[in-house]
Amino acid sequence: MHRRLLLAAGATAVLGAASGAALAQSYPTKPVRLVVPFAPGGTTDIIARVVAEKINGPLGQTMIVENKAGGGGSVGATEIARAAPDGYSLGMATVSTTAANPAINPKLAYNPITDFTPIINVAATPNVIAVHPSFPARDYKGFLAELKKSPGKYSYSSSGTGGIGHLQMELFKNLSGTFVTHIPYRGAGPALNDTVAGQVPIIFDNLPSALPFIQQGRLIAIVIAAPQRLAQLPNVPTFKEVGLEPVNRMAYYGIYGPKGMPRDVVDKVHAAVKKTIDDPSVKKRIEDTGSLIVANRPEEFAAQIAAEFEVYKKVVAAQKLTLE
């Protein structure tokens, strides 16, 4: 009798494993949605759409981009955290949603370390402070002098409260001894539109979304967060060069899903994204924005998210930053 029970239990386990494997092997059998937690037009949206446009071959299904803006990216991130872990609801993971926002807002409905399954970091991108051409300075020295001369006179736009643009600009203000009023938006796209229109004089943004306006002369780049000066902006110094190395942090744009995703499904998505960004045409489109391809493994991306979260928790504590 005991032997029969053991055999039955073993058969059930084998069947369960087999059905799980079959599910993973059949994935995906329908379109996969990719949630962008910001409005259209920003860097997160740009990179998501570049990948989604070409991934149908490697993935075997269409990837549909959905913009879910709000809360500095937390609305879209929360939706992914609560989704079924079947691989059909994925999200764009950014520094804002996985590090900066959780660091400044402990009341978020998700934990960036435990509520997601990191899959792949697609690219790292520089950040930039840029100004409208009407701003009375065209370089960093003049920019800093103007801010110090008129504290509180100017405002800056960002992709949202608690986002990387918000926290990095606040860190810049603290370290440079300046005061600029924060104007948060529901994504980089709307923030850029108002800055280009001259309604806000300064923006802290990721370079890919701001670069076209900089190249057109509709924005003036002042200083960038990057390992070294960029070929696209050879005359623009890095934060490290101007003595503000703590601000010299790049952003990342990866793909993750809800916690508990089957490893086989994670591996399929990872392989499909990796093959897509290895395509020379896709790689060129991403690199032309000033971004650097990363394409790391799930475990490496998870470690990166955890490390960045710790960095921003320390920034928030050291600078006494709050949402108010």
- At 250-264, the pLDDT tens digits run 999 999 999 999 999
Task: Round to whole Å and give the CA distance between 31 and 233.
Answer: 39
DSSP-derived 3-state class of residue 135: coil
What are the domain boundaries of the chain? 30-124+251-319, 127-247
Unique residue bearing structure tokens 């790391």: 296
From first CA to last CA, the distance across the chain in angstroms is 67
Task: Round to whole Å and give the CA distance between 233 and 222.
Answer: 10
Task: Round to whole Å and give the CA distance between 100 and 164.
Answer: 6
Amino acid 9: pLDDT: 45
The torsion angles phi and psi of 201, rounded to 5 degrees, stand at -80, -20
Amino acid 320: pLDDT: 80
Q: Say whether the peptide bond before residue 28 is cis (omega within 30 degrees of 0).
A: yes
In the chain, which stretches have pLDDT less than 50?
A: 1-9, 11-20
Amino acid 17: pLDDT: 44
Amino acid 88: pLDDT: 98
Length of the chain in residues, anyone?
324
- CATH architecture assignment, domain 127-247: 3-Layer(aba) Sandwich (3.40)
- CATH architecture assignment, domain 30-124+251-319: 3-Layer(aba) Sandwich (3.40)
- Asked whether the domain spanning 127-247 has the same topology as the one spanning 30-124+251-319, the reply is yes
Amino acid 318: pLDDT: 78
